[in-house]
Structure 1
Amino acid sequence: MTDTSRRVVAGIDGSPDSFAALDLAAEEARARGVPLHLVCAYVSPLLYIPYSPPVIPGADEPARKMVHDTAERIRLENPGLTVVENVVQGGGAAILVDESHTADLVVVGCRGRGGFTGLLAGSVSAQLAAHASCPVIVVRPAHPAVRPEGGHVVVGVDASPECGPAVEFAFIEAARRRVPLTAAHVWSHLPVTAMTADAPISYSYAQAHEDAERVIAESVAGWAEKYPDVEVLASPILAEDAGAELVAVSEHAGLLVVGSRGRGELAGMVLGSVGYTLVHHALCPVAIVRRRPARNQTRG
């Protein structure tokens, strides 16, 4: 693995989804002024012969040719962009998680080669979104990468600590794309305001709406001042299912950004139910952003 943190990594396997993701990855690398690393993981057939080499010589040649041809196309379409080719033996998810430790961003397609038709999100993209150390963008099928002049950026916010890195990433993307940023907060519980014999439980929609707007304002506080050219739109949404609501919002977005795990998620669910839903069903590219260790914080 190349020892540099200033790079964008694109996981490719020759599938249409990975090529769609590659276009967005090239754009991200060019905007950041960093190299683009194309990473292809392959699994070699085993030779079931005692004392034989563990892999068949030359098994990586198809992958290397695919990566090289792809790199040449990206160089032609993006003059001046440094494109590094990397073909590695091993499982795709493990390789890309390893790459994420020293990368600015990893971009993958939602579903690659070898996935079952019924699996809306391939195991590589889902595992990467759950375990990567840097932000991950998953590009959904039939929804190609959106150019800077495309749809606005949406960030899902709540009162959890995981929200901060996602908001920062969303502001950076909105500023780069020169589009508005919508901060969406989905709330479902109304606060109790009174309990009487005639009205055992009284709820205040106005108070709940005000609380939702406060959560949004606190989430973007500071970042709006740092990025004054980014128009910020508040979107408090009353609903039971945050994931389903954000999927609906994604239909008109260019990028949807969420933290790795929000409020109310089980500790054992590294990705979280909302992120899992979006990776499977969102109608635009999805960025999963988690708080990374201080020693790896390299974004500018």
Structure 2
Amino acid sequence: MNPKTKKTLLLILKIGISLSLFYLVYKKIDVDSVINIVLGTNLGYLSLAILFFVISQIISSYRLNYLFHSHSFKLSQISNLKLYLLGMFYNFFVPGGVGGDAFKVYLLNKNFNWKSKQVLKLVFIDRLIGLTAIACIIYLIIAFYPAILGSLINNFENYNNWFIILFPIVLVVGQILTKKIFQVAIKQFYATLAYSIVIQLMQIVSVIFITLALGISTELYYLYIFVFLLSSVFSVISFAGIGIREFLFFEMSVHFSLDENTAVTIGTLFTLITALISIFGIYYHFKKPTLKLQQIQGS
């Protein structure tokens, strides 16, 4: 099977998973109720949710450019922001086209003759460490609220101490392997991880403002945050996270006896916010961004 065919089949599979899960969820809930919940959203809180999502994406662009600079690819931050927004548009709205990351690599190679393999490696590391940050926050939530998994896995509380001890070891081993395989220095790994944790915290704040916008008053915010982070991890098996996010919020609401319609609305609103910001990248689709290198001070 040639790579192009394999990529097309994988894309079809992801879109199929997204559509199937989306249909499954919205078949089980009251769609009219969800629409009414959305129409009753507090626009002030929703605006803050959008703001913190935008902040998370700006920081995310800085994270990638940090990796570029640490490997002597001195792309200017303005150019990097343009590429990042273009990549968001491609990832969300162009399922049949070139992926956002691949197109960014193509443009960098075209403009600066940077080796595609090296740039793609950095983009992959950026994603990988981002997932590591999500794992770290999930770990902390489970450490403080073991009942989350205790209600899903029999006798999990008996193994919670082992879980707390083993995770930092796994993190260190992962850092060592990243250095060996991808030649990422320890300082670069933890600096990128710090960026990633801040990004996820900004998105968590965004989710909290979404719950406030929906009028949710509960001490169980950690459940919504936990499910949101899980959906970020499992989004790799769906297209742009669509479907999987709503499905996990629905399953969480059923398991913990929360309002199903409201929980699904949280996931749907986050997807809509992502789409809203991503669509601005269409400008650079029609007018390809002019990319520049960072000017050296004193030159």
TM-score where L is the length of structure 1: 0.25
Higher Cα Rg, which structure: 1
Structure with the bigger RCO (C-alpha within 8 Å, sep 6+) is: 2
Q: More helix by proportion, 1 or 2? A: 2
Q: TM-score, normalised by structure 2?
A: 0.26
